[in-house]
A and B are shown apart, each in its own frame.
Chain A
Amino acid sequence: MSGVLPTLDDLPGPVTEPRKIRRPFAGSALFIAMIVIGVVMLYPFYFMIDTSLRSESSFLNGGGHSLDSWRALDSTLPWGQQLINSTIVCLLSIGIILVCSSMAGFAFAKLRYPGASGVFVAIIAAILIPVQSIVIPAYVDIAHWHLLTSYTGAVLMYSAIGTPFATFLMTVYYRSLPDEVLEAGVIDGLSYPMIFLRIALPMSVPALATIFVLQFIQIWDDLLIGLLFLQNTSERTITVGLGALAAGRTTDIPVLMAGSLVSALPAIVVFLIFQRFLVNGLTAGIGR
């Protein structure tokens, strides 16, 4: 029937579910882009795993897989001890960074005292100083204090390098905490140190976790400080050990790849465990 009145078929049907906007091109383009990015990201891991499962000759000339390189790694590199060293240095440094940055951040964000903004700017400015430019004078200083033959020198260096940015992050985070919650603590009878410990600190766990993971990756992967400030071979971290592998006249690439995998795994595990805090921590304070 063709008339003035619309037929039943012309009328829009009842809306039973929200219509999905179909944009097949946009969907598949995004998908392809994600695959490309994924391949780019994952290829190094594939290369590392594949190479580590070859002997040097099969890597250079082609050939089958074997565990030769892993055996060679085990015999040349005290990787177990070095992983322990890395862990010790990392945890000690991060511990110092967390203690200093949380207390300083709370003070900058919530306490009023003369010169606060000047000190804050000075600390933030320290983020801009490249490590390479101060590492030699710092080396001389720490050598004077006879701290090159223990973990202490490296731990102090990592703490000093990591604290400014961590302080900045904690300050921003504490600024986002409402004053009224802290005032509730005052009314409830807490002293300022106790307000920090019992209210502010528990509320800043996401920010602390963010700092933990960022610093862990940075310190774990660092070579320069470890190389200079850990003079005893027994205290070397895993990255320094790998550096030593590569420093010989000929470098056995498959062995190096096996060592790199060993060194990368802990950082990846830490990242995977803490990544949800990381996202929360970096976006904390944006909204209510």
Chain B
Amino acid sequence: MRFEYASRIYAAGHRPAVDRLSLEIADGELCVLVGPSGSGKSTALRMLAGLEPVDGGKIYIGERDVTDLAPKRRDIAMVFQSYALYPHMTVAQNLGFALRVKRMPRDEVKRRVEEAARLLELEPFLKRRPRALSGGQRQRVAMGRAIVREPQVFCMDEPLSNLDAKLRVSTRTQIASLQRRLGVTTVYVTHDQVEAMTMGDRVAVLHEGVLQQVDRPLDIYDRPCNVFVAGFMGSPAMNLLPGRRVTDGLEVLGSVVPVPRELGAPGTSGAVTAGVRPEGLQLDDPGRPGTIPATVEFVEELGSDGFVYGTVEGGQRITIRSPGRRHPSIGSQVGVRLDPAQLHVFDGESGERL
């Protein structure tokens, strides 16, 4: 399926909620739309589902132009954030409702409902009402309601955000593996960049209605196309530091870092933003040549490793990954070494990757 310059404008004169979105998603692919709230990711999904009109551009499912089709003619199924189960129906009735609306024969409905229930381990609950289910079970009913329809596209709108942290992690892998098994093209919306990284075949990052980058998760992590994507993907976030081009490299945090020739084009001396992930910085003894002096403000221990939050001269805050368990104490002075190979350089004005 694909979006072709699809736009949604809520009020004339305002910034479009979704601005000329073009995105092609292959058959059977799980594509994650990710972005902060207000980025237009949910609106884009609702446009695909037909719950939101398309003010410009086209949306295709397969080769069919569905831009102006009613939701029921689009052959899609949707999993809502709140699950949106029908409270007055049993689990079985919830699962089979769409099929009964389509006037599918009874035994076929029964077969599909039972199959989905088996797949999602919902068999013991088929006669219960949603209010007698736990959060995780309700989530699975919402998934099942989409599965029984055997649609061309699944639309999932933050389906895990109402689950507690632990259940969210296990359900995340269940959904991803289920999707691979069923092979149904899936558009998955989330604001959680960890979900995006772990679940998606590809990830599309949106910001203020504009698509920023579409790529495989690791490619986005390794080569973010601009400052926004760099800062949004990855946890803790990438350090974004003001820098300046000088003749023999890049001046960052008061020291000059050698960078490949094409980045620090000689003769230019414009402002840049230098990005380096916490693992691109290493702790060293204070005062070593080639290190940047910093003061440790806070240490986050995760067991296998830790993150050191510090400030350098001028008040710039930085995050450093510190492997193992031996971390500097709060208030101590450390030296920070920057790995030039892990440096991302962005234009200081446009924020685009250089």
- Residue numbers of A with Cβ under 8 A of B are 178, 180-181, 183-184, 186-190, 194, 199, 202-203, 205
Contacts and interface: CB of A to CB of B under 8 A. Distances in A.
Closest 5 CB pairs of A and B: A189-B72, A180-B84, A188-B98, A184-B84, A202-B88
B75 to A, nearest CB: 11
Contacts of A199: 86
B76 interface: yes
25 contacts: A178-B82, A178-B84, A180-B82, A180-B84, A181-B86, A181-B87, A183-B78, A183-B80, A184-B84, A186-B50, A186-B71, A186-B72, A187-B49, A187-B51, A187-B71, A187-B72, A187-B78, A188-B72, A188-B97, A190-B72, A190-B101, A194-B101, A199-B86, A202-B88, A205-B88
B156 interface: no
Contact of B88 (A186, A188, A203): A203
Contacts of B87: 181, 203
Interface in B70-98: 71-72, 76-78, 80-82, 84-88, 97-98
A188 B101 contact: yes
B102 interface: yes
Q: Is the interface of A mostly helix, strand, loop or mixed?
A: helix
B97 A180 contact: no
Q: Which of B77, B84, B97, B98 has the most CB of A within 10 A?
A: B84
B98 A181 contact: no
A202 B98 CA distance: 17
Nearest to A190: B101
Contacts of B71: 186-187, 189
Contacts of A184: 78, 80, 84-86, 145
Interface in B44-81: 49-51, 71-72, 76-78, 80-81
A10 B101 CA distance: 72
B8 to A, nearest CB: 16
Contacts of A203: 86-88
A199 B87 CA distance: 9
A176 to B, nearest CB: 13
A205 B88 CA distance: 10
A180 B80 contact: yes
Nearest to A177: B87
Contacts of A189: 71-72, 98, 101-102
A183 B157 CA distance: 13
A183 B71 CA distance: 10
Contacts of B82: 178, 180
Contacts of A178: 82, 84
